[in-house]
Structure 1
Amino acid sequence: MTAKAQAKAEVRQPRWARKSTLVLAMVLLAFILFGTTTQTWIDVRLDPTAVSNSDLHVPGNKAATAVTALALVALAGGLAASIAGRIARWIIAVIIVVSAAGTILAAATVLGDPLGAAQGSIAAATGVSGGQAAVSTTVFPVLAVVAGALLAACGVLLPIAGRYWKTRTKYDAGRNGKERGAGPVDEIDSWDSLSRGEDPT
């Protein structure tokens, strides 16, 4: 393929399908998910006569412990996608989608039953389990749901976008360049050629 034809092929590549764009999006969304777990998800108003401090703020990593772990799994998957091959990208895509779905479910559970999600923290603060309190959720579990949904969408797009990506390894790039007569290869590619019984000169 000539340089002009290659440039024309790159122009046809959708912006969303660029490796840098998709990988960066997955990494940022995973960071956002992780970041939400460090913030307050549930504000609890305890009975002022029961304890000296009647205000309790439950962070995401206490209200929905699974979100932290799943966000880290998605982050690792997003980073691995940048160097993965075609089959590995499918596996990573499944992992990311499942992780994102898990975070959505966990965050939605908190939104649906904030008192139940806060019971562990309430029991730790008061020494009484199953107690009643006035609770309200913050914006962070909603943000986790949105970030999880976008992350799942990126996971679905990963195998599709991977079709546009160039050869991922220096070895393959050097070999393909040699086959096209693109000029001399470096010392590593020369050594690989010798290992295959070829004369790199």
Structure 2
Amino acid sequence: MSRRSAVLLGILLSGSLFLITRAGWITATVPDLAGGRSTIAATGGQASPATVALAVVALAASLVTGLTSRGARLVTGPLIALCGAGALVSGILVLTDPEGHAASAIAQASSVTGTGADIVLGPWAAISLVPSALLILLGPAILLLGRSWRTTSRFEREAAAPDVADDAHAPEPARAVPVAASAPAAADPAALWDALTRGEDPTDESDPAEDPADDPADDAPPRA
């Protein structure tokens, strides 16, 4: 199971459990002060307030599993399982004693006690056991399968962001500016004329010292 699947499943189960508590779990018909009988519907939130709180906590834990680092599963996994177990117990208590759990709703709505009330238990209390049991299984799955999840923590990405920003604002290295070769100085007309008089080529840029014709060794007389 991937991190995304675990988070979506946790949100689906806890959200379903919360919506179930908005339905009427118990219907009671009680005598009123006028001598007639009134029908009162007690929702899951009225019959079992703990189930509502546990569904909200499981929803928050599922969201935290997807927003924080991989180590958060060590907390959110057991927490989701405990929320499912608590909701399961609360649902079973409503099934075993519906009149006792509807008493507060009856007293609030009719201003009389629940004595002599006709109690009809709806299916929603039993249906709430399904997402509760699945939350119990989801908790250990997050704890065990989360070992293979890739670390995609928002906080770890933010920690690496300053390095990228520093590289982006780092000064660029100085670029070498090509230097154009200086143009040779204009030749002196008098020097050119003197070179032509000596029989030298004024366009030859070679060093006269390297001219083999000026080598003193060539002017030495041959040995006998």
**Shorter-normalised TM range:** 0.7 to 0.9
Partner SS for 1:132 = coil
Report matched runs for 1:1-201 at 5 Å.
Answer: 17-47=1-31, 52=36, 54-169=38-153, 188-191=162-165
Specify whether residues 129 and 170 from structure 1 end up closer, same or farther in structure 2 by C-alpha distance, changes over 3 A only. closer
Give the 3 Å change call, closer, same or farther, for CA 51–150 of structure 1 in structure 2.
farther
C-alpha contact 1:77 1:92 (8 A) present in aligned 2: yes
Distance of 2:98 and 2:48 partners within structure 1: 10
Distance 1:157 1:192, change over 3 A: farther
In the alignment, the residues of structure 1 paired with residue 12 and residue 117 of structure 2 have an alpha-carbon distance, to the nearest angstrom, of 35
For residues 126 and 74 of structure 1, the distance between their equivalents in structure 2, rounded to whole angstroms, comes to: 34
CA shift for structure 1 position 38? 0.7
Check 1:192–1:145 CA distance in 2 against 1; reply closer, same or farther (3 A cut): farther
Q: Amino acid of the residue matched to residue 100 of structure 2? A: G
Contact map agreement 2:73 2:143 (CA 8 A) in 1: yes
Task: Give SS of 1:54's match.
Answer: strand
Query: How far 1:65 sits from its partner (Å)?
Result: 0.7
Equivalent position amino acid for 1:116 in 2: G
**Residues 174 and 131 of structure 1: is their aligned pair in 2 closer, same or farther, counting only changes over 3 Å?**
closer
Long gaps (5+) in structure 2:
169-224
Identity %, equivalent residues: 30
Question: How far apart are residue 40 of structure 1 and its match?
Answer: 0.2
Runs of 4+ in 1 over 6 A off after TM superposition: none
- How far apart are the structure 1 equivalents of 2:57 and 2:69? 19
Query: Is the contact made by 1:50 and 1:126 (CA closer than 8 Å) also made in structure 2?
Result: no
Count how many residue pairs are aligned between Structure 1 and Structure 2. Answer: 168
Task: Report deviation, 1:45.
Answer: 1.9
Change (3 A) 1:193 1:141: farther
CA contact (8 A) 2:61 2:80 kept: yes
Q: Displacement of 1:171 after TM fit?
A: 7.1
Tell me the TM-score normalized by structure 2.
Answer: 0.67
Amino acid at match of 1:163: R
User: 1:173 deviation in Å?
Assistant: 7.0
Partner of 1:8: none
In terms of fraction of residues, the more helix-rich structure is 1
Indicate the structure (1 or 2) with the bigger Cα radius of gyration.
Answer: 2
Q: State the SS of the aligned residue for 2:115.
A: coil
What CA RMSD, in Å, does the superposition of the two structures yield over aligned residues?
2.7
CA deviation string 1:133-158 (max 9, x = no partner): 11122121112111100011111100
